[in-house]
Every structure is written in C-alpha cells, then in structure tokens.
Structure 1
Amino acid sequence: MANQHSNKIEDFAFDYLQKHYSQQCSPANVLVSHSERAKRGTSPDGILTFKRDLNNVFVASVSMAQAADLTQVLTNYKKKGLGLLRYVTPIILAIACFFLGKSLNNLLVMLISPVIMAPLGFMLHSYLLKKHYVGKVEKILDTVKHIPADEHWIGLSISSLTFRKNPMANIMLDLCSKKGIGLITVGQRAKVVLMNKPERENCRRNDFLSYYVSEENIRKATLGDHVLRVA
C-alpha cells in the first residue's frame, strides 16, 4: 500500500483522454488546456477541446482536485467499512432500556425493550452512516457535473484493489453512470483504467467554451490550423 499513490492521475489523465478523443472522434487536433477558469461557478483542473463543426468547439472537463476527497472516502470505506462505533450504539441503547425499566419497576420494559431497541439502533446508525458517505460522494459528483462541458471526467489516483468488494465503490460507479460522468483511474502499475464513460450534455449556447475566461484564445487555437498546447 505504500506505493499506492506513487503514480498520480495528473501525469496520465490528459494524455490518455487526448488519445481517447483522437481515436473516438477523429478531430484534426485535440487541444489540452490546464487550469482553465470558468467565468462563474466551479472550474475544472483542465479541459480538452477540439473542433466539432465549422464554428463550434467540443469541451471535455477533467477534474482531479475534487477526486482526492473521493479517493479518501473509498479508501476509508474499504479499510473500515461503516466503522466500529455503530456497534456501541445498540449496547448503549440496551443498557439505557434496562435501567429505564428497572427505574420504572417494569419487567417488560427492562427485558423486552433492549431486545427491540438494540438492533433498531444498530440499523439506524448504519443507515445514517452509509447515507453520510453516499452524500459526500454525490456532493462531489454534483460539483463536477456543474462544470460547463460537453463531457465530464473525474480522474482518481487509486489502486484497483480498492474497488474490489467495496460497496461504496459500486455506489460511486452507479452514481457516475446515472449522472453521466466519466471515470478513469491509475494505480500502482501506472495503467489508466476506464471505469465509466461520460454522457454528452446539451448546451444552451452555441458551445460550452463560451463559459470560460480564455474562450477567445482557445477558440482561435482550436478552430485554427495549428496544433497548440496551452500551459
């Protein structure tokens, strides 16, 4: 596990996606632009653009900063699950019910209520913890989804072992699929794995590039005849 994060998705994501779009869409060139700022709202770690038609530009966003939080959630869930604290809840409830029944001098409350309340407390605690984790994942994905782009990508620096027998990883993949967000990962072997393909968004304007501060420069570079790489 010590080398799990030695390979960073930042070193692989843009080259991988540049090849991906070159093969899938066959544009004249795919421009890679790092640290682009949206005119408002959330900005991606970078975008890939290419000429879609005569005057419009296709934009794919790549997010990796938010992905660090996703990696932490998945790794913690893999190691600890929902945690041991939830096992304390039924014990506390059982003891509380027992002493409540004793103080009321009610044998039924003292002996029966712990049997009912303890498992209910355990299930409720487990449900709330899982809902908390899922909420964190969904919040991150929603942030990425609000980035102006035809397609959205998240890149994770994470071992493939973290996805094995990890219910939270399955939930995240399901949410990515439902929200139309692409997911790529890189682990110890420095191999990029495509986990989920994105779905294309509809733009209210001519294209999503109009939402970016560097729109004019990128549009000229993308629609022109020169292959450029913006730092």
Structure 2
Amino acid sequence: MANQQVSKIEDFAFDYLKNYYTQQCYANNILVGQSEKTKRGNTTDGILAFKQTTGNVFVANISMQQSEALTNLVVNYKKNGLGWFRLITPLLVAAACFFIGRSTGNLLIMLIAPVIFAPFGFILHAYLLKKYRFRQVEKLVDQAKQYPANDQWIGLSISSLMFRKNLLATELLEVCNRKGVGLITVGQRSKVIMMKKPKSATCRRGDFLSHYASDENIRKAIEGDHVLRVA
C-alpha cells in the first residue's frame, strides 16, 4: 500500500488564514505576502494585510520556520515520553555509591546510599529533562514574536491527534496562550485545525505594517477591492 502523502502547512496556511480573516473581519482586500522582510532585516514566512472597517491597517504574521523542530519534539514526546536514557541515571548513581562505599570500606554508603540516591537521581534527571524540553518549546515559539503583527501565528505540519494526552503538546498550547500566539496544524487528511487563537495586539505608534520594508507597496495594494498575493 502506498504511503499517505504528508500535508505541508505551507500549502494550506495562507488560504486558511485568508478565509479566516474574510469571515472574522469582513475583509475584502487581503494581501498575502510571502517571505516579507522587516526593516530590521528579518524575513518572515508570510504576512496578511488588509484594511479594517475602521480604516486601520491590520497585519497577521504566519511563522512556519520552526514547524519541523516543534513537530519532532511533540511527536517524539507522544511516542517516547522523556525517553529511556533517564533510566540509566539511577543505575549509575547506585553503582557510584556502591564503589565509593566499597573503596572506603563503608557499608552504609555501599548498601544504603544507593537505595536513597538512585531514586533521587531518577527524579532529578526526569525533572531537568522535562524543563529542558519545555524551554525548547518556548524558544521556538519566541521566534514568531520577532515579526511585528497584530496577530502572530505558528503553523505546524502535524496531526491534531498528537496533542491528545501529550504533556509537551499541552505545554506548547500553554506557551502560545501566554505569549498570545495562534497555532494552526494540518495533518495527513489536509484538514487545517485551529489549536489556539491568537491575542490581537495594538501597535503603539502607527501600525505594524510600517515595520516592513515593502510597507508602501503593500499600502497601495490593499487600497484595491480584491484579494492579492505576492511572492
């Protein structure tokens, strides 16, 4: 049987978000710009820009550069948890206590210390490894925050089923919630799922479009009455 073709978020994200903002904001002239550069030199995967009914320019950014790394972390945790390597730690701690006790002739260290410190070593290793995985997720989510926008999104090529009973996936959603970042996924069935809605931000000066190198061209483009897409 042929393998199912993997759906890539890059093929679905822009159309999904375009439809989303068309329905949510009643926008008729949405510009979709891919590989847009900010004035600081960063290149985003893409932005959507349109005029709101109030006349203000609204910008949504979609970041997919971290898709592979986040997907691997979530899938691996779903399948393997924290992994088997942490099981070696209590064995090493017990062996160390035994040999130290034996070399010093101390039966207390040789026989009792392993019983006390081996479980402690296991718990400490698991705790530190979990914190490390959580930190990896947070750093990847932070990448989406470097692109100025009212709404910031992350897109992942992963089945939403991988989020069920998955502690790391739950942490990903919590980090996105804390930082106001939206999250969409697409699985093998090519269905886009909104896992987390973003929290819209307001630019303190002007609008977020002014942070992009091609802001003048984009402003002219969104004055039209049709959907535009630029590479």
TM-score (norm 1): 0.94
Determine the structure 1 residue equivalent to 2:194. 194
**Higher alpha-carbon deviation: 9-18 or 47-56:** 47-56
Residues 3 and 127 from structure 1, CA distance in 2 versus in 1: closer, same or farther, beyond 3 angstroms? farther
Q: Which residue of 2 aligns with 1:204?
A: 204
Q: Deviation digits for residues 75-102 of structure 1, max 9, x if unmatched?
A: 1111221111100010010011011112
User: Unaligned 5+ residue runs, structure 1?
Assistant: none
Q: Distance in 1 between matches of 2:132 and 2:119?
A: 20
For 2:153 and 2:65, locate their aligned partners in 1 and report how far apart those are by CA, in whole Å.
Answer: 12
Counterpart Cα distance in 1 of 2:181 and 2:13: 15
Q: Deviations over 1:33-83 (max 9, x none)?
A: 111111116432000011036663110000111122111111111122111
Matched residue SS, 1:200: coil
Task: Give distance in 2, aligned partners of 1:78 and 1:199.
Answer: 27
After alignment, is 18-27 or 102-111 more displaced?
102-111
Q: In the alignment, what sits opposite 2:221?
A: 221
How big is the shift at 1:161?
Answer: 2.7
Q: Indicate whether 1:160 and 2:160 are aligned.
A: yes
Say which SS state the counterpart of residue 223 (structure 1) adopts: coil
Secondary structure of the corresponding residue to residue 195 of structure 1: strand
Using the size of structure 2 for normalisation, the TM-score is: 0.94
Other-structure match for 2:128: 128
Q: Which residue of 2 aligns with 1:68?
A: 68
Single out whichever of 220-229 and 181-190 deviates more from structure 2.
220-229
| Equivalent-residue separation in structure 2 for 1:222 and 1:112 (angstroms) | 74
1:104 Cα shift?
A: 1.6
Q: Mean alpha-carbon deviation: is it higher for 189-198 or for 67-76?
A: 67-76
Partner of 2:17: 17
Q: Tell me: CA distance 1:70–1:163, structure 2 relative to 1, closer, same or farther (3 Å).
A: same
Give secondary structure in 2 for the equivalent of 1:74.
helix
How far apart in 1 are the matches of 2:188 and 2:140? 24
- CA 183–3 in structure 1, closer or farther in 2 if over 3 Å, else same: farther
CA distance in 2, matches of 1:38, 1:4: 37
Q: Which amino acid aligns with 2:172?
A: M
Offset of residue 215 of structure 1: 0.5
The separation in 2 between residues aligned to 1:199 and 1:182, in whole angstroms, is 7
Aligned partner of 2:175 in structure 1 is 175
Q: Indicate the percent of aligned positions where both proteins have the same amino acid.
A: 60
Give 1:23 deviation, angstroms: 0.5
1:142 is aligned to 142
Supply the distance in 2 between the matched residues of 1:96 and 1:228 (Cα, whole angstroms).
66
Structure-2 separation of matches of 1:73 and 1:213: 33
Unaligned runs of 5+ in 2: none
Which residue is 2:37 aligned to? 37
TM-fit CA distance, 1:224:
3.8
Instruction: State the number of aligned residues.
Output: 230
Over aligned residues, Cα RMSD in angstroms? 1.7
Going from structure 1 to structure 2, the CA distance change for 1:211 and 1:53 (only over 3 Å counts) comes to: farther
Instruction: Please tell me the residue identity of whatever aligns with 1:221.
Output: A
